[in-house]
A and B are shown apart, each in its own frame.
Chain A
Amino acid sequence: MMKPKTLKDYKKIAGKIAISQLEQLSQNLKGAKVVHVNSTREGGGVAEILNWMISLMNDLGLNASWEVIEGNEKYFDVTKAFHNGMQGTPIRLTGEMIKNYEDTLNTNFKRLQPVLEEADFVFIHDPQPAAFLDMCPNRKGKWVWRCHIDSSNPSREVWKYLRSKVVNYDASIFSMPTFAQPLPHPQFVIAPSIDPLSEKNCEINKKEIKETLKKYNIPDNVPILTQVSRFDRFKDPLGVIEAFNELTKTIPAELVLAGGRATDDPEGQVVLEEVQKAAADNKHIHVLMLPSDAHRTINALQRASTIIIQKSIQEGFGLTVTEALLKEKPVIGGNVGGIKLQLHNYYTGFLVETPEGAALRIRELLHDNEKIKRMGRTAKQFVIENFLLTRHLREYLTLLVGLKCNLTNYVLTESKDFNS
């Protein structure tokens, strides 16, 4: 277990100026009570972001906390349907589903009411806790709905319901402009980020990488290709296997499909079984179901890989792409969501539409080691400049200062404590 980080720890990688900007911005927010609410403490990008964000906000003098929705299997079935619906899957919502969702949130609200009512700022992450706002008429702070999902083309029925739950928020945040939906309040765009010092991203030695490969019986005498993601249809693991089968007709390689299970994703087991079936006759395909805290293992697998794949057919932002780029790995990614923002053909990786496209680009790269190295260096610099948590935190602090000043377009700050 790594000890919680402080801002000072990030000076070396993010630079002195980036840290100083955070300190200066936070002068206007000292003591502000900031509450984040989501539906899982482990697994998935949101939980990872909240892990560092709470700790660094507190380090900057804000009073930040993180609350998690507790629900039964039925509740998570409904929220998974919301999730899929927001990403475009046609969903039929029944009265029973809505009742289950709202009942669960009502029960949770009773537990969280004092914290939510007293908060100066509340961030509600994704659809799972979205209906909280209606349950909290005595709120004193500003409420922001933070949508991490690619909601560019949502199921009409799901969005109709969810829109009614988020329409009264003070603001909303989307990861990309294309994800935003028409709403009557200000909609901000903040791309997510990664923590370069987390167990998943920190530097690790070659010995540990070798041991990890040995543990999972992955040979390293041929190029290793890895996709790290939940076993989810939107991540297209079957498409990755198809691309690998096409590739290995000419070039030997090993494929690692490494994923974990998030507590709010009931579909994962079904998809995992489909993937295991597709990989069953191929000893060069390694399907790894990892525990949610296997961050160092994922780190080692990514670093051991020659190329990283993220062949999603729908994607929020694709933090696994960011992680790979930071580790100087070119990425072959699906031409969707935030992956488009991170992969620039011939610079940081390649965007592809099909398994054939993925196989073609992997083959192209495997024939040119220099290109792999050059793209890797560019990729790392790109992430350092744009997608580290310091940039992310700066945008959140900027938004908080903006909200404090009622979202005027231009805010000249004065350094003072939040409640003074």
Chain B
Amino acid sequence: MSTAKGVLRFRIYEPGDEARILDVLEKCLHGWRGRDRAELMALWRWRHSGRRDFQPDDIVVALIDDEVVACFHGGVFALRYDEGLSVPVSLDGDFAVLPEYRRSGIPDDAHDWMDRTLLRRGVALRGGYASVELNRRFYHKRFGYVFIPSVTTYYRRLLDTEPLGALLAAAGRDLLRHDALRAHLAHRGRWIVALNLEALPECHLVATREGLQLERGPAERPDMSVRLSQALLAASARGALPFVLRLGLELAWGRCRVSGLFRNWRTVLLFVWSMLGRRETGV
């Protein structure tokens, strides 16, 4: 097949392709960047060529003038479709096209190429990892991919304040668009809240007109102190009613405690007012 950049051809994996495939993955996929090469090679081998039932057909590379410009990985597994019934499916991943060769239809052609191979192998379904947004924007319209309604629930619990810090910094950028709050914090200087979050290291929140920052360790002279459970943080992401109900329970059980609220009523009120005016973002 001829393209503006040269003659494009597809072929299945051949031993010795590893380094060139890794180059493409490192250049294209976030998860493959900035990691030790030996570690990446071990990961790639485990996922693909090191699997006992691996077949060279599982990997397709796109070449232009004998240079690997894109790679597409799959793997055939037995998926449980019903009690006592498994169907062969291909679970795809690690799709990458070098930036300079994008918008030339390589993924479409590679998808068709792999479809023909999978059909020959008797594979019934093909699964791929994508966000709902990416599916709607691209995969559904282009190839027909759909999500099967599932009962899969994803649960997450914090063990460290680091992810919370990033979320608070993002929320701060949003909240401080509110002029009254920004002016109040400019007048007040630093507003420090000591945070005692269940099962997390001690930390404190520093609010200034520039933004919100979560710092590790105890606060020296906090304006306010808050003790919260992780269940309350999780309830805050489920909406206002679950949050209020949980807050009532936590206060009654003594698992949630706030001190210095009356001394800081004005700042707290401005934060709440600012929060009401923004879109909800869960912790």
A binds B: no
